[in-house]
Amino acid sequence: MHDASIPRRNLLFRIVSEIPGVTYGVVFLAILFSIIRPRFMSVNNMLLIARHSSVLLVASIGMTMVILVSQIDLSVGSVMSLSGVVAAYAIRNGMDLVPAMALGIVCGLVTGALNGVMVAVFKFDYWIATFGTMGIGAGMALVVANGETLAVGSAGFGWIGNGRIGRIYILTYLAVIFLTVMWFVLKKTRFGYNIYSIGGSEQAARLSGLNVVRNRIYVYMCSGFFSAVAGLMLASMGNSASPIAGADYSFDVIAAVIIGGTSFDGGRGGLFGTVMGTLLVRILASGLNLMNILPTWQKAIIGIVIVAILVADVLGEKRKRRRDMMRRYRDG
Amino acid sequence: MKKWFPVLACAALLAALSASAADSRVEGKAVTMILKNFTNPFFITVREGGEAAAKEYGIDLTVLAPLKADNNEEQTHMVEQAIVSGADLVIMCPSDTMGIIPAMEKLEEAEIPVINLNTRIGGDRKLAKTFVAIENFECGYESVTRLVNMMGGKGEFIILEGVSGAQTSIDRVKGAHAALEKFPGVKLVAQQPADYNRAKAMDVTQNLLQAHPNVRGIYCCNDEMALGAVEAIAAANKTGQIFVGGSDGNADALKAIRDGKMALTCHTDPYNQGYQSVVAAAMALRGEELPDLFRVSIKVIGKEDL
């Protein structure tokens, strides 16, 4: 990746080839919808898409890291429901906003640690381990909320979900801050480097003296943390917490990350792709709603677009590899 | 007669002018109707009713529902997008009566009127111009009264609730309880949620029939669940021995009633609910005063009514 022998004149080519394929999909769709429905391009609609992407974006940060170490975390959605419900329950019973939200986040960290220990220390299959915690989280959320939506009715909590500074929503700021920090962590810190190393080859990472177990636990705790934060953001939008709010989120999150080009093989991809994957899903939803297309059709159309992008990505990847190979032969 | 002609012409012109003036407040207006889902035939029929009325009034109607059935987040997104795309009015059928409130407050802030459809928006403040709905209490009361009469006024009874916490289900169950109180010979042996879902209702009923083999009547808060119960009863070889009541009046349920598998349903007239919500929208757009409740009438339907 950081091959110094590639000549400078190929810098542009390198940058372009490192952009995940989904980016072109996002650009293409944005142009397409703007032509069909000019008001799609309005600043207000753009701000709205940014707002509607923010919860999914934050929830996807952790999953990006988990998939980078070639594993999966199915408990994301349940943790989202649980953290929202726990915080709402605490606020309703007189706790202050900040400690209540901290309590919600603790739920995420504990679930994440539990996942991490099961997967990294006891070597349980990560599908089954996180499937288990998914069930536990979803069940706990229903127990805490007694099966009902808990109205929070706190002005501060509602402000997080619906307030704005300038024209931009608080939720959007939160997503941008978390993404920037985690982008930096992944690209520029030891921990981020370790994640890519483990994903690339766990054996090589271990042999070079890396504490794989500890790093894996950290990764799952990050996933739990960001799921919990996303759950709080989701609940704040409705100023109420539903025990099933996050129910289907795990699959949306996995889809966003995979569409964004982060590979199950591990060690390839990153947060930029995840942002693009999320935007693609949200832009499709927004554009299709503006065009008054039935949700029943929307589902199929979204599926088709996802498959098209994956196919384009795979073909592009093949072509790139062939070109790299040819250049290597030619250059020396 | 001849000298009256100009007067008549003037009157006709005036009438035409005033009529078109009245219409211009409604015609071409963008109304967004947000429903709970399109996986339940009930809401597809609501949509058809709404579209028929919109055609008559010349309203530009957009009907949306979440991709993930009954998802509050998506409904919130749809409301916000309706504001941004300049809707003149929103017809709202909330999946989550509490969770939708902030979105409704945004509509209030944007001065976009709201017509509340089918399920009441929560909270203490009045956020909608009017509420277009049936009385769910009445629905449960009337259905169970007739169901118990079919049972001869005695025997064991089961109630299947909808999604936990759903207001429609809560009200229908209340009505059902009120009806059961009139019949001391009837014993309510179980009451469980089956999420308005056919497959879930089949599971739940199968388990309940194991525990309570002598059940004579089952009241379900919608037809999908009633049809699930019917399947469970067939699997237990008890078709015809247990009276099953549903609610909504959808095509499958009417067929089951005709075939003698289901005892009755409560026609909640989804078509008319959709239609009336758009009528209410047109009235609101004209600036007319609206009553607090736009009541859509119900009708209990058994085999002899078909």
Instruction: Chain B: give the shortest CA distance to residue A23, in Å.
Output: 23
Using DSSP bridges, classify how beta strands B114-117 and B215-220 pair: parallel, antiparallel or unpaired: unpaired
Burial class (CB in 10 A: 0-12, 13-18, 19+), B49: buried
Of B295, B297, B302, B300, give the one whose Cα is nearest residue B266: B300
pLDDT reported for residue A332: 52
Q: For chains A and B, what is the number of CB pairs under 8 angstroms?
A: 87
The strand pairing partners of B116, in sequence order, are B92, B131
Distance, CA of B265 to CA of B302 (rounded, Å) = 7
Question: Residue A52 and residue B80: Cβ atoms within 8 Å?
Answer: yes
CB–CB of B102/A152 below 8 Å?
no
CB–CB of B151/B187 below 8 Å?
no
**Which pair of structure tokens corresponds to residue A36?**
């069909």
Q: Which residues of B touch A237 (CB under 8 A)?
A: 73, 76, 102
Distance, CA of B157 to CA of B148 (rounded, Å) = 9
A312: part of which helix (H) or strand (E)?
A: helix A295-331
Q: Is A39 on the interface with B (CB under 8 A)?
A: yes
pLDDT reported for residue A312: 76
Domains of chain A, first to last:
19-331 (1.10.3470)
- The strand ranges marked E within chain B are 30-34, 60-64, 89-92, 114-117, 130-133, 155-161, 186-193, 215-220, 243-245, 264-267, 293-295, 299-302
DSSP-based three-state secondary structure for B237: coil
Provide the pLDDT confidence category of residue A1 given band limits of 50, 70 and 90: very low
Q: Is the pLDDT of residue A267 over 70?
A: yes
Q: What are phi and psi of B303, to 5 degrees?
A: -60, -40
DSSP label of A10: G
Residue B13 amino acid letter = L
Residue A231 amino acid letter = G
CB–CB of B179/B144 below 8 Å?
yes
pLDDT reported for residue B174: 94
Of B221, B216, B134, give the one whose Cα is nearest residue B173: B221
Distance, CA of A2 to CA of B162 (rounded, Å) = 58
Residue to test with chain A: of B39, B59, B68, most A Cβ within 10 A:
B68
Of B161, B135, B143, B118, give the one whose Cα is nearest residue B271: B118
Residue of A nearest to B170 (CA): A148
Q: What are phi and psi of B295, to 5 degrees?
A: -85, 130
The strand pairing partners of B301, in sequence order, are B265
Q: Is B67 on the interface with A (CB under 8 A)?
A: yes
Residue to test with chain A: of B85, B107, B120, B191, most A Cβ within 10 A:
B85
Question: Residue B67 and residue A295: Cβ atoms within 8 Å?
Answer: yes
Q: What value does the mean pLDDT take over residues A29-54?
A: 90
Q: Which of B:38-57 have CB within 8 Å of A?
A: 38
Q: Which of A:216-235 have CB within 8 Å of B?
A: 234
Q: What value does the mean pLDDT take over residues A87-99?
A: 96
Q: Is A262 on the interface with B (CB under 8 A)?
A: no
Burial class (CB in 10 A: 0-12, 13-18, 19+), A223: buried
CB–CB of B131/B92 below 8 Å?
no
pLDDT digits (tens, 9 = 90+) for A123-174: 999 999 999 999 999 999 999 998 888 999 899 999 999 999 999 999 999 9
Distance, CA of B151 to CA of B80 (rounded, Å) = 50
pLDDT digits (tens, 9 = 90+) for A180-239: 999 999 999 999 999 999 998 999 999 999 999 999 999 999 999 999 999 999 999 999
Minimal Cβ distance to A161: which of B62, B68, B102: B102
Q: Is A52 on the interface with B (CB under 8 A)?
A: yes
Q: What is the pLDDT along chain B (306 residues), one digit of tens a residue?
A: 455 555 555 455 444 444 444 567 889 999 999 999 988 889 999 999 999 999 999 999 999 999 888 899 999 999 999 999 899 999 999 999 999 999 999 999 999 999 999 999 988 899 999 999 998 999 999 999 999 999 999 999 999 999 877 788 989 999 999 999 999 999 999 999 999 999 999 999 999 999 999 999 999 999 999 999 999 999 999 988 999 999 999 899 999 999 999 999 999 899 999 999 999 999 999 999 999 998 898 999 999 888
CB–CB of B59/B26 below 8 Å?
yes
Distance, CA of B268 to CA of B3 (rounded, Å) = 55
Domains of chain B, first to last:
5-134+272-296 (3.40.50.2300), 136-267 (3.40.50.2300)
pLDDT reported for residue A41: 86
Q: Is B99 on the interface with A (CB under 8 A)?
A: yes
Residue of A nearest to B106 (CA): A162
Q: What value does the mean pLDDT take over residues A23-40?
A: 89
Q: Which residues of A touch B65 (CB under 8 A)?
A: 295
Q: Which residues of A touch B35 (CB under 8 A)?
A: none
Using DSSP bridges, classify how beta strands B155-161 and B186-193 pair: parallel, antiparallel or unpaired: parallel
CB–CB of B213/B187 below 8 Å?
no
Q: For B271-289, give the secondary structure using H, E and C.
A: HHHHHHHHHHHHHHHCCCC
ipTM for the assembly: 0.85
Contacts of A129 (CB under 8 A, 6+ apart): A115, A118, A119
Q: What value does the mean pLDDT take over residues A321-325?
A: 76
Q: Is B169 on the interface with A (CB under 8 A)?
A: no
Q: Is A135 on the interface with B (CB under 8 A)?
A: no
Q: Is B164 on the interface with A (CB under 8 A)?
A: yes
Alpha helices, H only, A69-146:
76-92, 97-116, 126-145
DSSP-based three-state secondary structure for A234: helix
Q: What are phi and psi of A57, to 5 degrees?
A: -60, -50
CB–CB of B221/B169 below 8 Å?
yes
Distance, CA of A64 to CA of A277 (rounded, Å) = 11
Residue of A nearest to B167 (CA): A148
Percent above pLDDT 90 for chain A: 65
pLDDT reported for residue B25: 81
Q: Is B102 on the interface with A (CB under 8 A)?
A: yes
Contacts of B134 (CB under 8 A, 6+ apart): B268, B269, B273, B295, B296, B297, B298
Distance, CA of B284 to CA of B117 (rounded, Å) = 14
